[in-house]
Structure 1
Amino acid sequence: MYPTSGMAQTAPDVDHWYTSGTFLTIAGIVVAAIMGVGAIVATYRSANPRRRLHLYQSGVASMVHIASKTLGIKVLQGDQELQNPHLVTVNVSNRGRRDIPRSSFDGPITLDVGVEIVGQLNASSSGTSGVEPMPEVAISGTALVMQPSLIKRKQTLSYSLLVDGKPTWQPKCAIVDVEVDTESSGLDDMRGSINRIVIFLGLLIALSGLLLAAASWRYY
């Protein structure tokens, strides 16, 4: 039997591998995994810029309770009584991924606590493996003024002060190419916790995506 003349032959449908449902599922999983990794990288870089300076106060405490006045307890500076003595620690911390050189500063760091500073009680440096030189500092009215100096990666400089009045944090810093954060330490720690949660979720999404992709490819 001969084919009928004039009738066109229809080519059979061909299923391409890249249009199959399995491939599209795997591709979607891989894209989700890549997006998860991207979220991790973006969050980490946002939380840990190359250079970041954190200025904050901590350990604010009144030295004279109402009951102390009833008992006749006083805090004196020489022969002069302090009306509202407080202890406060001011901190300068390098939270970035690189050292902050002296050349980055356009002027001193002014750690203004808003009330008269009676005296500096202590100074310390932490966070580095070696012993780092302390920057030159001086008291100027309501502020501790720190001269420009190298601040190493992870280094925190802390100064304990005796002040007369309840401190109000008003720091100032002129610096180039460095992110400056003047929030309290508690808020900074909270932001760090949120960033760690985002990173964990991104890792979980990326790992789940890769495992699903591997399982789907095995049965493809």
Structure 2
Amino acid sequence: MSVIASQEFYRSPIFWAAAAVVAAVVIGVGTMWATLRAANPKRSIQYAMEETRLLQPHEHLDGTMELRRNGVPLTDPRIVRVRIRNNGRRDVSANDFDSAHPIQASFGVPVLELLSSGSQPPTSHTPAAVVSGNELRIGPGRFGKATETSYVVLIDGQPAFELRHSLLNVPVREGITLGFTSRLLTEVVYPIAGAGAALLIIILGAPFT
């Protein structure tokens, strides 16, 4: 009797409809994965700058408030965070810097101090950086795949940000987007899985005939 029931189950058009949905989901995920993989090069650097003004103008302040650094008053102090992300699938190494020239993050005004630096994940390597006039010079060093490195500096004045680099065969562009794995999950896996689950519920909710 169980053999007959099994045979009848596999002959059901509802079963094959459900199997088709599962196959479509698998094929869809595979196709979109290949598309996203092709759109994300093996090595890719993205960067962004975020600034915070420490003295905000206010109508109720009479202009007597000031900040000082080492006894010197600051006219328009700002904290600037430079973010550098390797959105590619492979590390960017120190050997990728042409003639060992560092990345130069220029602010258009003097950099007073490098306040902090770090990477996410926390166990990732953070290339060294030094202050040089209006610039923060970063590296050469390794930027691990799917790793974001941040440098926080203190400046005094309105910045005019510019980033120059000597990286060889590594695309560099302004603006940080989701990494390959995050894009795959949010743009492909979750939507297709949700749609597939909904279709399966509808199909399997019908009686087998």
RMSD: 4.1
SS in 2 for 1:43: helix
SS in 2 for 1:171: strand
Alignment counterpart, residue 173 of structure 1, candidates 153, 161, 165:
165
SS in 2 for 1:120: strand
Alignment counterpart, residue 109 of structure 1, candidates 103, 110, 134:
103
Alignment counterpart, residue 143 of structure 2, candidates 145, 148, 151:
151
Q: Is the 8 A contact 1:128 1:155 kept in 2?
A: no
Per the alignment, do residues 31 and 147 of structure 1 end up closer, same or farther by CA in structure 2, a change over 3 Å counting?
Answer: closer
Tell me the TM-score normalized by structure 2. 0.67
Hey, what's the Cα distance between the residues in 1 that align with 2:185 and 2:42?
Answer: 17
Q: Is the 8 A contact 2:33 2:184 kept in 1?
A: no
Hey, what's the Cα distance between the residues in 2 that align with 1:189 and 1:95?
Answer: 8
Return 5+ residue gaps in structure 2 as ranges. 1-20, 199-209
Shift of 1:56: 1.6
In the alignment, which residue of structure 2 is the partner of 1:196? 186
Shift of 1:39: 3.3
Per the alignment, do residues 201 and 155 of structure 1 end up closer, same or farther by CA in structure 2, a change over 3 Å counting?
Answer: closer
In the alignment, which residue of structure 2 is the partner of 1:121? 115
Shift of 1:103: 0.7
Return 5+ residue gaps in structure 1 as ranges. 1-28, 209-220
Q: Deviations over 1:70-99 (max 9, x none)?
A: 262212233432221111111222222211
Shift of 1:110: 0.8
Per the alignment, do residues 128 and 64 of structure 1 end up closer, same or farther by CA in structure 2, a change over 3 Å counting?
Answer: closer
Hey, what's the Cα distance between the residues in 2 that align with 1:91 and 1:36?
Answer: 31
Percent identity, aligned pairs only, is 20
Hey, what's the Cα distance between the residues in 2 that align with 1:65 and 1:170?
Answer: 24
SS in 2 for 1:174: coil
Hey, what's the Cα distance between the residues in 1 that align with 2:133 and 2:85?
Answer: 23
Hey, what's the Cα distance between the residues in 1 that align with 2:174 and 2:191?
Answer: 28
Shift of 1:189: 4.5
User: 1:65 aligned to 2:56?
Assistant: yes
In the alignment, which residue of structure 2 is the partner of 1:161? 153
SS in 2 for 1:167: coil
Letter in 1 for 2:73: E
Shift of 1:179: 2.2
Per the alignment, do residues 40 and 207 of structure 1 end up closer, same or farther by CA in structure 2, a change over 3 Å counting?
Answer: farther
Q: Is the 8 A contact 2:115 2:153 kept in 1?
A: yes
Shift of 1:109: 0.5
